Amino acid sequence: MDKFKLEERLIDFAANIILFCNDVDKSYAGNHLVGQIVRSSTSPALNYGEAQSAESKKDFVHKMGICLKELRETLNCLKIIEKAKLILNPELVTTLKKEANELISIFVSSLKTAKTNSEIKNR
């Protein structure tokens, strides 16, 4: 995937999570998870931007790993919100979980490629 398209996709994902949070139940648990998911869903877009200016291959892999970690955290938050029935629109959760899974797959693949290329270069 083109790096600019991926960056836009990450920005769109973060924005959609922020909009989604407006519909999460305003209970103690809902508020806690909203704060958590806003942080974890915006982090990949920000860290991906930093990865594009990485100082080394190792720095690139590290920042991409942070993106992956935060996407997985976001997916888990979505699952908790869904199972705890903190949102009235389950279809929206399904759409966001699908996008999170697709982004996770992209990052897993990218990290695997980057690590393989780094190992080949270091031989």
Q: Which CATH number belongs to the domain containing residue 46 in this structure?
A: 1.20.1440.60
At 57-103, the pLDDT tens digits run 999 999 999 999 999 999 999 999 999 999 988 899 999 999 999 99
Task: State the average pLDDT over residues 48-54.
Answer: 94
Kindly indicate the confidence band of residue 123, based on its pLDDT and cuts at 50, 70 and 90: low
| Contact by Cβ (8 Å): 86, 24 | yes
Q: How many domains does the chain have?
A: 1
Assess if residue 48 is contained within a domain.
yes
pLDDT of residue 120: 65
Nearest Cα neighbor of 61 from 110, 104, 106 is 110
pTM to 2 decimal places: 0.92
CA triplet 107, 113, 114: central angle to 5 degrees?
A: 85
Percent of the chain exceeding pLDDT 70 equals: 94
Assess if residue 122 is contained within a domain.
no
